[in-house]
A and B are shown apart, each in its own frame.
Chain A
Amino acid sequence: MRWPLPFSPRHLALMPIAALMLLPLGWMLLTSIQTLPESRHFPPVLIPSGFHWQNYPDAWNAAPFGRFFANSMIVTLSAVAGNLVFCSLAGYAFARMRFFGRDVLFVALLATLMVPFQVTMIPTFLIVQKMGLVNSLPALIVPNLVTPFGIFLLRQFFRTLPIELEEAARMDGCSRLGVLVRVVLPLSMPALATLAIVTFLWTWNDFLWPLIVITSTNQSTVQLGLAQFQGAHQTNWTLLMAGNVMALAPMLLVFIIGQRWFVQSLASTGLK
């Protein structure tokens, strides 16, 4: 029997699935413009009496969201920059240079990937505490400046580049650093973009480490601030959802605009 309808049967499955995936976010948006009595009504109010935008300034004033954003931005951009620089240097050395102890060191770095962060977080907290960094942004930045994942990713990519170009540059008197900066990195934009995007997403959304190491609202990131915000406004759902929309909107917008790059980056972390 032929399919009788003028559209693919896939739509019959995909439509409800898409609706289900979008429902939580749509419901958050809807609640964020309702009045408090509307949100506390059963059955739920599907068409609110109007756009109650006031929830947004109320939420913005109920917690220092501006501060949270600034903190998250500082931490995330530092982590991205640190990873790009340090993972490039280390990844290049592991890919192309011969030095004493290279292979042992590389295996040791990779071995740390096998140990979940939750296993080592208590001693990591003690180390950060001994450094006097508890409850400061450097506590969120310094341990995240470089990741074994990033080193591995870049090393693998650098090894796929044609070595002849590098050798030619060396012949012309270019130093190792010069080769890396002028020849290798310009050819490695896809890998660097992947590392930047993945680091950005991980660091921005990280919650457990800030929860442990940050104790004051002023040093909070967006995620930590959002959790505290919930604790302070338990059942005020309109306010909570407005705050949640504000906290989520920048990342979701960046994601939707740059969806192609995000998807490529995440796919390549999964398949290498």
Chain B
Amino acid sequence: MISRAARSEHVSGWLFVAPAALLIGIFGILPIGWAALLSFQNNDLLTTPTWVGTQNYHTLVNDPVFRQSVNHTIVYTLLFVPLSVGGSLALAMLLNARIRFSRFYRTAVFIPVATSTVATGLIFNWLLEPTYGVANYMLGKVHLGPYGFFQDPDQALYSIVAMTVWGWLGFDVIVYLAALQGVPESLVEAARLDGAGRWATFRHVVFPLVSPATLFLIVWSTINALQVFDEIYVTTRGGPLHATTVMVYYLYSQAFEFFHAGYAAAIAEVLFAITLVFSLLQLWLGNRRVHYGS
């Protein structure tokens, strides 16, 4: 028999979670199942959808733009993740010292974190403008360029990488600086006393101790990179010649520009599968190497 107190706990427990459960049920859980169903439909977002079986997936396999979008997404991710995670670790090591102007340096590195993706895109459109942009001016000073950047199909994707690394680096640095705070001074000193050089101390003491942060940042940056959209929408719109059409951009344009929502849902399912495989693989590989303190 359930006591009255326990019964009232069931009721009040459910009352406490009800608003959250309802909202997440409608906007979080329901769309997961619906997205899967949509991928087997012909749906233009307005009229009654019709069932088409696996046709969307068959079309997908033979769609050259879709294949390109997968390639671009993977190339982008393979560049963005090491550059932003590796770069931010180096930068955090530099910043992790009591030196003059430390506050200024940190602010300079953190500021892009608060800069919206749209504003970032707008600024880089101007910096990287081929004719009047300051980037070509500065590179010209060291006898490089001029480059077409966003307007050159061979450079556009790399320009997007550079822009987004600028925008996201600060967040990674924040996470690494917090992790470096947790590295005990005594351990570093002990390594020095044992005759370890700077590199050996970093390699065998500091790096293992911040490895949970590294794993988190790799997984987090990968998920973000696979979903890159805003900065591309504002700068290249997937062009020129589809050179920056990544999966989410293709998904967006299929669903909301051409109203092929069923087809777009099939793209979304492939994106989901890729995201899941990448994150699980990283967590599995990472957890065997990551050092979680005692």
Residues of B within 8 Å of A, CB-based: how many? 97
- Interface bits B20-41 vs A (CB < 8 Å: 1, else 0): 1101101111111011001000
CB distance from A195 to the nearest CB of B (A): 13
Task: State which residues 214-229 of B face A: CB under 8 Å.
Answer: 216-217, 220, 223, 226-227, 229
| Contact bitstring B106-120, A, C-beta under 8 A = 1, else 0 | 111111111111111
Tell me if A119 and B269 are in contact (CB < 8 A): yes
Decide if B51 is an interface residue (CB 8 Å cutoff): no
> CA separation between A207 and B117, bound complex, in Å?
8
Q: A177: which B residues are within 8 A, CB to CB?
A: 12
State the 10 A-B residue pairs at the shortest beta-carbon distance, nearest first. A99-B13, A267-B178, A93-B16, A123-B34, A120-B31, A255-B114, A270-B175, A90-B20, A123-B31, A18-B108
Q: How large is the interface on A (under 10, 10 to 19, 20 to 34, 35 or more residues)?
A: 35 or more
The digit string for A40-58, where 1 denotes a CB below 8 A from any CB of B, is 1111100000000000000
Residues of A within 8 A of B271 (CB): 116, 118-119
Quick check: B174 and A21 within 8 Å, CB to CB?
no
Residues of B within 8 A of A263 (CB): 110, 174, 177
For B131, the closest partner residue in chain A by CB is A42
Residue B152 at the A interface, CB < 8 A?
A: no
> Is B116 within 8 A of A204, CB to CB?
yes
Q: State the CA gap A102–B12 with chains docked (Å).
A: 12
Overall SS of chain A's interface: helix
Q: Is there contact, CB below 8 Å, between A97 and B123? A: no
- A17 on the interface (CB 8 Å rule)? yes
| In the complex, per-residue mask of B252-292: 1 if CB is within 8 Å of any chain A CB, else 0 | 10011000010011001101100110010000000000000
Instruction: Give the B-binding residues of A (Cβ under 8 A).
Output: 7-8, 10-11, 13-14, 17-18, 21-25, 27-28, 31, 39-44, 86-87, 89-90, 92-94, 97-100, 102, 105, 108-109, 112, 114-127, 129, 142-143, 145-146, 148, 151, 176-177, 201, 204-205, 207-208, 211-212, 222-224, 226-227, 230, 237, 240-241, 244, 247-248, 251-252, 254-256, 259, 262-263, 266-268, 270-271
